[in-house]
Structure formats: C-alpha cells, structure tokens
Amino acid sequence: MKVNFYVEDMLFFKYIGCATVAKTLYGQLSAMDGLELRWKGFPGHDDIVHYHTFGPFALFHRRLSGGKKVLTAHSTPRINVGNIALAQRINRHYPKIYRKFDHIITISKPCHEEVTSLLPEIPVTYIPNGVNREYFRNDPEKGAVFRDLHGIPEGQEVVLSVAQLTPRKGLYDFLALAKEHPDKTFVWMGGFPYGALSKDWIRIRRLKRRCGSNLIFPGYVEDIVSAYSAADIFLMPSFAETFGLVILEALSCGLPVIARDIPEFRDIFSDAVLYFRTHEEAAAHLGDTPLLSRYASGARPFSAGYDIRDSARKHLALYRELAGT
C-alpha cells in the first residue's frame, strides 16, 4: 500500500505543531511492514495521501493527487481565534475545505464533536496523537547543555512553555507570571505560526524586547528534548487546543505540568496534570513544591497510554480500510 504524507513545514510554518505530529507518525509507520511511504512526494498513484495541513500548497497538491485523501484536523475554526489575524473571515472557509477530503481524522473528543457538528456528512475517525517515549525522556546531559547555552545557573528553577507566539497560547499570562516570579527563569520555546499575519504580531515583538531578565525566548530548537530536560516545571496556559501534544511530551520527559483548565486537556490528560482557571491558581501551583513533586512522579507512567506505536497501528488500520486492502 502506497501512502504519501504531506505537511506544509517550510518557512515560518515550521513552528506549527502539526508538522511535528506528522513527522513522528511518519517515522513510526516507516518501521511497519506492508507500507510504501513517501514524505511530501510529488502527486502520483498513491493509495492514500495523508494531509496534516490544508494551506495553499497542500490544496494544490491535493488537486493533482490520486487515491484517498485523508486530513488530520489539527486546526479547527474554534482555535483560530486568538491565533491568526482575520480569523473570523478565514473560519468561514473551513467547511468548504474539509469537504475536499475523503476522510477526516480528529485527535480529541472536543475536536471530534466540533468537526462532526460542522460537517455531519463527512466520514470522521477519532485517533488521538501519540508520543515517541523512546525519544521524549529526560536527558540530564542535554539539559545541562541547554542551560549553559542560555546562561541558566545550576539549581535555578526553570518554567518552560512550548508553543506558538500567539495570544491563544496564553502568552500574556506567561509574561505576567514571569514578572511576578523573578526567582525563576521562564523559557518560551516557539515562534510566530504565520509570520506577520500572526495575531498581535507587532505587540508581541515589542513585549519580547521589553521583557525581564528572567525571560528567555530561544525560538525554534531542533532538539526540543534539551529544553524539556533543562526544565523543572512545564506551564501550558493555552486557551484552546485540539489536543496539546507538548503536554504529552513534557509528561513523557517526567515533568510536572500546570495547564489551563480547558475541555481538551481534561479529556486527554484527566488528573495527570495540575489545572488552573485563574491567574492566582497558576501562581499558587508554581510555588507548591511538594504538589509538583507528586505530579512529576506520575508524569512518565501516564504517557504510556499515548504511545506513538498504538497511534500508528490505528492509522494503518484506517489506511487499509480506506484503500480496501
């Protein structure tokens, strides 16, 4: 069975998390028998073409491709607000775009409900994301290198977030918490998802220049495990997600996680993370060392329930069903 993966991961699109998801899944599927995989191959006679983005390049590729076209709904109208300029205008095109595909994969129950309510006639399958637990594990040596590179002293507590630089990701709350906790180093990994079209692009660039000395913005890093390994706490203040893969990666690396109390996180992570609804609750969690230690002890074991190998097997079963093999 021939399967072609397509994701727009060029230029500033490399900051979009769905590219990471696609590469992780592709890597796991490559180890399975019965598949002939291509990564962003030219349109041809494939049985399945699996899209992880639906920008202009992906839609052009889709027009020229054969076989069944599958789209993973990493992005939905709900999460565009606070993420990209002119979101409401862009959101009107989602139903038309979704209908261009033969099958849609959703990655969380809230995501599934949104897509099926928007387009009840389109076939949809729920397959949650998975994490490569062999790769995402604490590595003290990598952590030490990251700390040295960014001038973080040994013993200094590090609060990490991995996300796009947009209001939807809770960036402003992160900045406020950093200002209130000068004794901790706050690190925000990630860049603007849509370049200058990203929501509040000018404002965020200005705030980055004025931030305190305990705030670090390394941008895009190839080996993200080095950042997780350098951190003591993972903070995810996002207001809306379709899944929240970075939380799963942080848990796999053994970090205690503090996350905003939103339906997607409750659905996926249950009681494995600490939730907050207010700024005061987040601040209280940051200072509760015994509680954080307790959550850290259960972090990596929880991630075993979302192993990438299980996700790959479910994808393979769907491919075979759609291809009739």
pLDDT tens across the length of the chain (325 residues): 999 999 998 765 555 678 889 999 999 999 999 899 999 999 989 999 999 998 889 999 999 999 999 999 998 877 665 555 556 677 778 889 999 999 999 999 999 999 999 899 999 999 999 999 999 999 999 999 999 999 999 899 999 999 988 888 999 999 999 999 999 999 999 888 777 777 888 998 998 888 889 999 998 888 999 999 999 999 999 998 989 999 999 999 999 999 999 999 999 999 999 999 999 999 999 999 999 999 999 999 999 999 999 999 999 999 999 999 8
Could you give the residue range(s) of every CATH 3.40.50.2000 domain in the chain?
2-130+307-323, 140-306
With a CB cutoff of 8 Å and minimum separation 6, the contacts of 289 are: none
What are φ and ψ of residue 201, in 5° steps?
-55, -50
What CATH architecture is 140-306?
Answer: 3-Layer(aba) Sandwich (3.40)
The CATH code of the domain at 2-130+307-323 is 3.40.50.2000
Q: Helices H, strands E: what count in the chain?
A: 16, 12
pTM to 2 decimal places: 0.90
